[in-house]
Amino acid sequence: MSDFRPDQIEPKWQAYWQKNKTFKVEEDLSKPSFFVLDMFPYPSGSGLHVGHVEGYTATDIMARFKRARGFDVLHPMGWDAFGLPAEQHAINTGTHPRDTTVENIATFKGQLQALGFAYDWDREINTTDPDYYRWTQWIFLKLYEQGLAYIAEVPVNWCPALGTVLANEEVIDGRSERGSHPVIRKPMRQWMLKITAYAERLLDDLELIDWPDHLKDMQRNWIGRSQGAEVDFKVDAASANGLDANIRVFTTRPDTLFGATYMVLAPEHPLVDDLASDAQRDAVIAYRDEAATKSELQRTELQKEKTGVFTGAYAINPVNGARIPIWIADYVLWGYGTGAIMAVPGHDERDWEFAKAHDIAIVEVIAGGDVTQAAHTGDGELVNSDFLNGKAVADAKKTIIAWLEERGLGQGTINYKLRDWLFSRQRYWGEPFPILHREDGQVVPLPEEQLPLTLPDVERYQPSGTGESPLATIDAWVNTVDPRDGTPARRETNTMPQWAGSCWYYLRYIDPHNDEAPVDPEKEKRWMPVDLYVGGAEHAVLHLLYARFWHKVLYDIGVVSTPEPFQRVVNQGMILGVTYQYFTSPEGEALSYKEVGARTDLSPATIPADQVEWKNEVPFHPEHGVELEEIVEKMSKSRGNVVNPDDVIAEYGADSLRLYEMFMGPLEQTKPWNPRGVSGVHRFLSRVWRLTAAEEGLSDTIVDAEPTDDMLRHLHRTIKKVTEDTEALHYNTAIAAMMEYVNFLYKLDTVPRALIAPLVQMLAPYAPHTAEELWERLGHESSVINHLWPTYEEKWLEDDSYELAVQVMGKLRGEITVPKDADEEAVVALARQNEKVEEHLAGKTIRRVIFVPGRILNFVAN
């Protein structure tokens, strides 16, 4: 017997894989291809966490499995390395983000290698590498050529105190995350990408892909298609300083037009200034300034008090000529629809509350509710609506749209919640835009041959104070000429957002060193679409939507051959942290959660899992001795419940960590980290080890004997289960099947070699280091991954026994397990060993036995 020593085995095999380039993509055209992708990490300063390990292990298992199943597998890794934290670190310390990035990547890479992941490291990519972002810039130019990139004045989060624009995630409740300074919305010149032009296809093509429903739903909601109508309301000129104008509204409920009793414009609506009467002007301006400080989210909160100001002007309802007041209110957004609504308080909740708060008339136009009490938003028959009366909602919608269209008063339209994508950042650490602003005012793209446009070195990473990026302060870089004709020009000083690099990185893995094109078309055809993409649900919307958008543009211009990039996406569930809680009194006394009762003077305290003392499966405080309560929540530094993969590897080895994270539960489920779980799978691996290996070579229990039928049945059933479960990403049950099989093998005195080799192969995707070592000891020359996956034979799957119902005088008295080919005599003998059956036969004479093999045994007795 020998000790299981992952600390010796693991480095040995990692070095072997690296030296032999075991995981190099074969590019063997005779094999089917399989592209298995991870959401590549942002190499942060804190290193890999157990959540990364979960997703990366899941794909690694699939990559190794598919390789053993005869596929040519592409399983790459890289770095999404532009972004805010490196820049903030630079601002604080003066360290160039490039240096920080290099350092962090080295840490991450070391950690990934220590986990034994089967990446082809020759295909490593880094979004901050000029050879990579050259093509990010190239794609931007294509977007620009297609009219899908444009400049607009857009409100951004401007923090006057910090002199910088902030990303949404840096703003918390209207204040800067750093320093808590007020943040206002300020219009600035920005690059936008016209993702809205692809809204319909982004929606429709969800049908083509194999994603979980919840993910598709999130994308659908984000795109937010709504069908309705646009309707023109004429301004009553007499009430509005003689203004001759129409206000166009978007409504999903044109059927309720007769119930529109007022209108609302977004405070930013350009007509507001012209409409405001002298009496109302000050109030209108004050309200608009106030609204500028609020985020969309704050403005549209359903519970929020419905504020607003009357402009003093009126509009004419086109269906009945009613004169209705025009208000401004922040619950109407400038960015959606037309930025103006017809308000129907009888049938819209927000309008109802607003009308109540401001004493505006409420008219019922759909029967079935009580509009004096609440808005009736459901279906019903139209009332108070002239030619629509008596119709149902759907019918009324059709009728009114036709009526409006005939008269040129409006038309049916579709609207999307999806906004164009604000694509520029006022930051240093991002891809520079290949764009020149010429002295004569023209905006021109940089010629393709001049790519990459590299980031210049700067001295200071501080924002410029004007809201521009630090690049704006480097005159030597900014001031240039248009290479076409020498006209002086300024470079664009914004940079692209972090999303840019991750929009197409999967393509670059296919052909990472190509300097003629982002990807070779032949190679692209072979590998795309990605067969399996695993990552966190936090990317369910933005990253996956942006990448789909870019991909479709590349599809339209012939760079890629598939309309969708990711055929199958799986979201790994979050791993939650565990801490153990007790309470302390003001006097410093420790109490168990069971002793709290009604006391309110206690404060909670926690200890990490590794300090807990367990007695009979119950957790106790090691010093105070009080019983602890297990608290499961999101892992966070402040909670002290973060599990560091390095620590787990140091204690148990990478194979145990991998195996544990897959054994915790279904991949897609949220799961708590059980601090004692790793030792369980470690025990399992140790058992496999002891079963197979000796100090050197193999254990004596492994023999060159023929397995019995019973052994073969166990083996083949295990192969079937592990194969099918692995294919289906049901890794936890595949592991359970291997555990069961190992239990079976442990009961044998000697283990025929033919039972062990397939086990080692099946274990290989899960615990690759251990498997390689055992495989070598079993006498194989090359890596276990190069050997075809074991197959099962149907004939060994069939049961050798079955359950037989036993009746006495036609009444069911018991069930017995009988061998498949047992004859009547044997079956009767077995049945008579059954207590219940014997009880009912006691004192009787068996007259006749009816035996239908496989179905029933009946004793006729009296």
Residues flagged as binding site for ATP: 637
The two beta strands, 125-126 and 603-608, are unpaired
| Per-residue b or e along 645-663, where b marks 16 or more CB atoms closer than 10 Å to that residue's CB | beebbeebbbbbbbbbbbb
Q: Does 251 interact with ligand ANZ (rule: CB under 6 A)?
A: yes
Give the range of 75-83, 116-124, 169-177, 247-255 binding ligand ANZ by CB under 6 A.
247-255
Nearer to ligand ANZ, 332 or 693 (CB): 332
Q: Tokens 């599809």 — which residue?
A: 555
As measured in angstroms, the least distance from the Cβ of 339 to ligand ANZ is 5
As measured in angstroms, the least distance from the Cβ of 333 to ligand ANZ is 4
Nearer to ligand ANZ, 339 or 758 (CB): 339
DSSP 703: E
What is the size of the binding site for ligand ANZ (CB under 6 A)?
19
Give the range of 27-35, 246-254, 514-522, 533-541 binding ligand ANZ by CB under 6 A.
246-254
The whole-angstrom distance between residue 224's C-alpha and the CA centroid of its chain comes to: 19
Q: Does 333 interact with ligand ANZ (rule: CB under 6 A)?
A: yes
Residue from 125, 159, 272, 344 touching ligand ANZ (CB under 6 A): that is 344
Q: Does 196 interact with ligand ANZ (rule: CB under 6 A)?
A: no
Nearer to ligand ANZ, 266 or 678 (CB): 266
Give dist(CA 117, CA 765) in Å, integer: 10
The beta-carbon contacts of 396-404 under 8 Å, at least 24 apart in sequence, are 396/255, 397/229, 397/253, 397/254, 397/255, 400/229, 400/254, 400/255, 400/257, 400/319, 401/229, 401/254, 403/319, 404/229, 404/231, 404/254, 404/318
Nearer to ligand ANZ, 226 or 411 (CB): 226
Integer-rounded Cα radius of gyration of the chain = 35
Residue from 105, 183, 342, 510 touching ligand ANZ (CB under 6 A): that is 342
Give dist(CA 652, CA 663) in Å, integer: 15
Q: Is 471 exposed, middle or buried (0-12, 13-18, 19+ CB in 10 A)?
A: buried
Nearer to ligand ANZ, 337 or 529 (CB): 337
As measured in angstroms, the least distance from the Cβ of 332 to ligand ANZ is 4
Q: Does 469 interact with ligand ANZ (rule: CB under 6 A)?
A: no
Q: Does 252 interact with ligand ANZ (rule: CB under 6 A)?
A: yes
As measured in angstroms, the least distance from the Cβ of 367 to ligand ANZ is 14
| Per-residue b or e along 74-103, where b marks 16 or more CB atoms closer than 10 Å to that residue's CB | bbbbbbbbbbbbbbbbbbeeeebbeebbee
Q: Does 36 interact with ligand ANZ (rule: CB under 6 A)?
A: no
Q: Does 115 interact with ligand ANZ (rule: CB under 6 A)?
A: no
**392, β-bridge pairs:** 381
SS3 labels along 277-335: CHHHHHHHHHHHHHHCCCCHHHHHCCCCCCCCEEEEEEEECCCCCCEEEEEECCCCCCC
Token pair belonging to 125: 């990519």
Q: Which of residues 403-432 bind ligand ANZ (CB under 6 A)?
A: 415
Give the range of 183-191, 342-350, 555-563, 787-795 binding ligand ANZ by CB under 6 A.
342-350
DSSP state string for 317-330:
-TTT--EEEEEE-T
Give the range of 68-76, 251-259, 488-496, 704-712 binding ligand ANZ by CB under 6 A.
251-259
Residue from 226, 411, 581, 611 touching ligand ANZ (CB under 6 A): that is 226
Amino acid at site 253: R
Give the range of 176-184, 212-220, 252-260, 751-759 binding ligand ANZ by CB under 6 A.
252-260
As measured in angstroms, the least distance from the Cβ of 254 to ligand ANZ is 8
Residue from 347, 552, 721, 730 touching ligand ANZ (CB under 6 A): that is 347
Nearer to ligand ANZ, 333 or 574 (CB): 333
As measured in angstroms, the least distance from the Cβ of 472 to ligand ANZ is 34
As measured in angstroms, the least distance from the Cβ of 414 to ligand ANZ is 10
Q: Count of CB atoms within 10 A of residue 456's CB?
A: 14
Q: Count of CB atoms within 10 A of residue 294's CB?
A: 17
Q: Tokens 């936090």 — which residue?
A: 538
In this structure, the dihedral spanned by the alpha carbons of residues 210, 212, 215 and 221, taken in order and rounded to 10 degrees, is: 80
As measured in angstroms, the least distance from the Cβ of 783 to ligand ANZ is 56
Handedness of CA 523, 131, 140, 517 (dihedral sign): negative
Site mask for ligand ANZ (CB under 6 A), range 768-797, x = bound = ------------------------------
Q: Which of residues 253-312 bind ligand ANZ (CB under 6 A)?
A: 253, 256, 266
| CA distances (Å), origin 73, targets 23, 110, 452, 620, 771 | 9, 23, 31, 49, 20
Site mask for ligand ANZ (CB under 6 A), range 366-405, x = bound = ----------------------------------------
Q: Does 232 interact with ligand ANZ (rule: CB under 6 A)?
A: no
Phi and psi at 322, nearest 5°, equal -65, 145
Give the binding site for ligand ANZ (CB under 6 A): 226, 250-253, 256, 266, 331-333, 336-337, 339, 341-342, 344, 347-348, 415
